[in-house]
Chain A
Amino acid sequence: MIRVALPSHLRALAHVQGDVELEVAGPVTQRTVLDALEARYPMLRGTIRDHVTQERRAFLRFFACAEDLSHEPPDAPLPDAVASGAEPLLIIGAIAGG
């Protein structure tokens, strides 16, 4: 079971509290995890990655196991600890503003 931690605004949109748990068939990558997340919570489509290009929105970052994975290819395997559910994939809104 994959765990995903969403920023608070997206938890509110998806009507969830705490981490989201997802079943991901096949390789565990950013793309497969986000595909599973959007399939289960369609209201999140377009909020994390662009509807058309599927690129990560500019002010969102992906972290796991104390690493910034934001610039990793979307089909690169996520860390084993994420794939096993030991660690969550963190989706974080960039801190911006004064």
Chain B
Amino acid sequence: MSGVRVLVGTRKGAFVLTSDGKRERWDVSGPHFAGWEIYHLKGSPVDPNRLFASQTSGWFGQIIQRSDDGGKTWTQPGTPPGERTTPEGMPKAESNKFVYDTSSETGKPLTTHQWYDGTQHPWEFKRVWHIEPSLTDPDTVYAGVEDAALFRSRDGGKSWQELSGLRGHGTGPKWQPGAGGMCLHTIVLDPGNPQRMFIAISAAGAFRTDDAGKTWRPINQGLRSQYIPDPTAEIGHCVHRIAMHRSRPGVLFMQKHWDVMRSDNAGDLWQEISGNLPTDFGFVIDVHAHEPETVYVVPIKSDGEHFVPDGKLRVYRSRSGGNEWEALTKGLPQRDCYVNVLRDAMAVDALDKCGIYFGTTGGQVYASADAGDNWAPIVRDLPAVLSVEVQTLP
């Protein structure tokens, strides 16, 4: 029988939850990297036992961890004895070395962005928000970082190189940090076109490459953001998350700071699909594994309070690709609940029926084994959940 592995990143460590295909009983391992912020963990689609984790700390900086046994053991790539050495013969560890590319060979990207007071501010690396393993190569993995940039490793996370065409395409000086910093938090790979990928930055917007990351263009037409000087500007939108169904890579769904959006042409033009949602503010958005027009969001009350409306934790599902939404509440707290669900904290499995998972800032991870009709916590009282990813195992 198939199984499911849920990878949970929290403010104080990582947890790995496993179950068989029934998804009724769960084993919890962790905390891994106790005390560290784990912004994101994700497994390779090519080799499900290969996992990558972003381990961060305001004190000690960025660490990349890798597991090759499904999360049982972890190592920082490049650090074990026998790994690469410097010319002097010293161990060479670069798995946590994220250095912005300012070389003239790659166009010498501009190295300032807009600061909170409108002045220009130099790019400063802070952490990895999101890790996206390649769909085809277990040694290739992408990292979205703060201050916003995209890095790639082709050696299993031992070393990282910036895809500097993103920062270098010209609008960088207009990018600015949101409340959570200026982060590249979303990376979506096109399963049908290895040259194409999508990324999103708070607060710059969404971008697309059609040449494997060499050049990029903003894809924000149709977005409208009242909180920026020009609400329809090419740059400056606070995109929170983008989701895609792998069978239709040209159709994208977006949870923006405010507004739920949809594009049917790979981001060339967006249209609003908020419809009857109680609020169109939120962070997460995801798509059913087998129904590309079935979309999930968790509405959050305003950009000032950041908790669910009316004390009720409700997932909203649209079976029509947006505009018409139904509240899913069975098994979720419907009173006195004031949690948030952060942008990387929802995922789906590929079983039949499709499983939906999300984690809260209150430390619960909820799961539905029937596409959202019924929910139950599969673990509760963890530290605040930052990310949830799901692997469907053979």
Contact = CB atoms under 8 A, between A and B. Distances in A.
Interface in A1-22: 7-10, 12-13
Interface string B68-83: 0000000010110001
B59 A60 contact: yes
A85 interface: no
A43 B93 contact: yes
A66 interface: no
A7 B36 CA distance: 13
Contacts of A47: 60-61, 63, 96
B59 A9 contact: yes
A39 B97 contact: no
Interface in A69-98: 93-94, 96
B79 A10 contact: no
A52 B35 CA distance: 26
B92 A42 contact: yes
B99 A42 contact: no
Nearest to B89: A39
B157 to A, nearest CB: 13
A45 B96 contact: yes
Contacts of A93: 59-60
A57 B126 CA distance: 12
A27 interface: no
Contacts of A60: 59-60
A46 B96 contact: yes
Interface residues of B, number: 22
A51 B91 contact: no
B56 to A, nearest CB: 11
Interface string B93-124: 11011010000000000000000000000000
A51 B99 contact: yes
A93 B35 CA distance: 13
A13 B90 contact: no
Interface of A: 7-10, 12-13, 39, 42-43, 45-48, 51-52, 57, 59-60, 93-94, 96
A90 to B, nearest CB: 15
Nearest to B35: A9
A95 to B, nearest CB: 10
B61 A57 contact: yes
A46 B62 CA distance: 8
B99 A52 contact: yes
Contacts of B76: 13, 43
Nearest to B83: A42
B57 A45 contact: no
Nearest to A59: B59
A39 B85 CA distance: 10
Contacts of A42: 78-79, 83, 90-93
Contacts of B90: 39, 42
A1 B197 CA distance: 52
Nearest to A94: B59
B60 A10 contact: yes
B96 A59 contact: no
21 contacts: A8-B35, A9-B36, A9-B59, A9-B60, A13-B60, A13-B76, A39-B91, A42-B78, A42-B83, A42-B90, A42-B92, A42-B93, A46-B96, A47-B61, A47-B63, A51-B97, A57-B60, A59-B58, A59-B59, A93-B59, A96-B58
A47 B60 CA distance: 4
A13 B63 contact: yes
Contacts of A57: 59-61
A32 B173 CA distance: 39
A48 B58 CA distance: 11
A51 B60 CA distance: 12
Contacts of B35: 8-9
